[in-house]
Structure 1
Amino acid sequence: MTAHRIVTGHISAVLALLPEELDTTAARTAGRALPGGWHLEPSGTGLERAAVEITVGAAGVSADAHTVRVRLPRTAASSDTLAYVTYTALERARQQQRKATVHATALHAPGGRAVLLLGTKGAGKTSTALALAERGWVHAGDDLVVLEGDEVQAVTVWPGKPTAAIRDPLRPLAPKPQRDLEPFAAGPARLVWVVRIAIHPSLATASLTPAKPLSVNERLRLHENLGRYISGLPTPLSGEGSVPYGPVWPLDTPALARWRSHLITALGGCRFDYLYASSPETAADLLAKEADAR
């Protein structure tokens, strides 16, 4: 067994005790769909404290103040589960570096500033982003995006998941195939606008409603989103092809919770709107028109 430096989610950290003979091909392939990819490289001096330790054995998770220890069955360790588990286990290290994984979609508007689209599953984030890309905007991540908050309350959007699952309207019950998002952002951008989207055909009139000052409910939704990936390890440790087994082991600390509150304050400092529209095309037209007017 040896230590490696893992690079994923726009941070690097030490990954220790990974069996040398382990086949990581599936993890590297899956990592192409994670924010920042998923790469292994030599760990350097080997004297650094590991952020994650991976061993092969009966599935389980434990953690102390510095290291998350994950045991994976060999079949799971040799599958794409290795990429997803290590990405999630590194969320604490990510937040210690003032970055957080969020459930959102992001784009760069003309001019290069970032716009963050929030919404529940099925709200229309991906479809609206595809429509905006047809209008000259640049994709910066679908479903998973990494935010960075600095000490002066500026928020940066780092490129997120570069693929999207698009449902075939002629086969609504079929699995959604993944497609690459193009054009895709090459680097981070300053966040200037947050939009929570609701798309429904019954909405006769498209509208943008200011969300500021942020309500208690909105702040709670943001807290839940920012804390989602640090709450534990939701990835099935035994692999997707078998019975899911993923004990939730809290990785949070009071200091990180305070930083997320700071980040929510910074998000509230951006323009923040609620968008209601009958279709993604209508929503994209409204956003593009509003961006052109600024």
Structure 2
Amino acid sequence: MTTHRLITGHVSALLVLPEKLDTAPAQAADRSLPGGWTLKAAPDTKTAADIEITTGAAAVTIEQDTVHLRLPAAVAASDTLAYATYTATERIRQQQHKATVHATALIALDGQAVLLIGMKGAGKTSTAIALAARGWTHAGDDLIVLGERGDGGLVVWPGKPTAAIRDPTRPLAPKPRHLLEPFATGPAALARVVRVAVHPDLAQASMTPAVPLSVNERLRLHEMLARYISGLPTPVTGVSGVPYGPVWPLDTPGLARWRSHLITALAGCRFDYLHASDPETAADLLTKEGTT
């Protein structure tokens, strides 16, 4: 076994890997995860590993503070290693008052961050592209890291720096991946949350305050914040395999209470529902109103 320092998702972890494991496919997934995925030489230490990878039938267990991931040999040598170890570090992130969320983020012209949330296909990415054309800075597509400062303020840490953008002339073709530019180089204070719905049937564009949050909205936010700590996005059988895997035992009552606190903090930001027929209209509304 070999020990490495893993840096991903804006935290670091002590990672133990099988000897001679090929990590090149995992390192190639660097641009698919917030904060990248980097291995560095680990200093001599007697500290217990945060994550230990072994090969065999897929399983996830926790012994004291070490996450033990058993992956089939072919899976361990694939890009799934990056996604699985990223998910395994979610406990560390939340212990440090950070959480991986399914959202898109940008930095407005005043330097403050805006979080775009919504279901898959809601128009977050296309709206972000339109905002970047208006001078906003990308801070992550689809996956970002939301954090809390010591004073209780919220910050957005840069998320996934690439986006899959469909070619409108080839609607059934796989979506090519693009590097997002300009891209944030550090965290930014969160000023606004917008749940986006962009669809051609929405003829009347609107911006509606969501505060006070409804019970349904709070449930959706709970699901968003708990998604990664439950391991649901990364079946340990492999990203390219059957989409099934056990629920990971990463959560604790203390972290669940912190996520509830985080929802209260999100409700303290400006929080709106945006409906528009196309991304350009959505971007126009957001640019007009900014983060205030």
The answer to whether the Cα contact below 8 Å between 2:227 and 2:233 also exists between their aligned partners in 1 is no
Provide the residue aligned with 1:157 in structure 2: 156
Query: Are 2:49 and 1:46 aligned?
Result: no
1:65 Cα offset (Å)? 4.1
1:46 Cα offset (Å)? 2.5
1:203-282 alignment runs, 5 A limit: 203-232=202-231, 234-282=233-281
1:169 Cα offset (Å)? 1.4
Provide the residue aligned with 2:80 in structure 1: 81
1:249 Cα offset (Å)? 2.2
Helix, strand or coil for the counterpart of 1:230?
coil
1:233 Cα offset (Å)? 5.1
1:35-74 alignment runs, 5 A limit: 35-74=34-73
Helix, strand or coil for the counterpart of 2:217?
helix
Query: Are 2:203 and 1:198 aligned?
Result: no
Helix, strand or coil for the counterpart of 2:290?
helix
Helix, strand or coil for the counterpart of 1:229?
coil
In the aligned structure 2, how far is the partner of 1:244 from the partner of 1:215?
32
In the aligned structure 1, how far is the partner of 2:153 from the partner of 2:241?
43
Task: In structure 1, give the amino acid aligned to 2:100.
Answer: T
1:245 Cα offset (Å)? 4.9
1:237 Cα offset (Å)? 2.5
Provide the residue aligned with 2:8 in structure 1: 8
Structure 2 gap ranges (5+): none
Helix, strand or coil for the counterpart of 2:109?
coil
1:243 Cα offset (Å)? 3.7
Structure 1 gap ranges (5+): none
In the aligned structure 2, how far is the partner of 1:245 from the partner of 1:281?
37
> Aligned pairs, how many?
292
1:147 Cα offset (Å)? 0.5
Distance 1:241-1:225 versus aligned 2 partners, 3 A rule: closer
Give the superposed CA RMSD. Answer: 1.4
1:239 Cα offset (Å)? 2.7
Provide the residue aligned with 1:185 in structure 2: 184
Task: In structure 1, give the amino acid aligned to 2:86.
Answer: Y
In the aligned structure 2, how far is the partner of 1:151 from the partner of 1:214?
24
Q: Deviations over 1:89-115 (max 9, x none)?
A: 111111011110000000000021100
Percent identity over the alignment? 69
In the aligned structure 1, how far is the partner of 2:244 from the partner of 2:236?
5
In the aligned structure 2, how far is the partner of 1:264 from the partner of 1:146?
14
1:67 Cα offset (Å)? 1.6
Pick which of 175-184 and 237-246 moved more.
237-246
Provide the residue aligned with 1:168 in structure 2: 167
Pick which of 281-290 and 203-212 moved more.
203-212
TM-score (normalised: structure 2): 0.96
Query: Are 2:138 and 1:144 aligned?
Result: no
Helix, strand or coil for the counterpart of 1:186?
coil
The answer to whether the Cα contact below 8 Å between 2:61 and 2:249 also exists between their aligned partners in 1 is no
Task: In structure 2, give the amino acid aligned to 1:182.
Answer: E
Structure 1 ranges of 4+ moved more than 3 A: 240-245
Task: In structure 2, give the amino acid aligned to 1:133.
Answer: A
1:232 Cα offset (Å)? 2.6
Task: In structure 2, give the amino acid aligned to 1:203.
Answer: L
Task: In structure 2, give the amino acid aligned to 1:2.
Answer: T
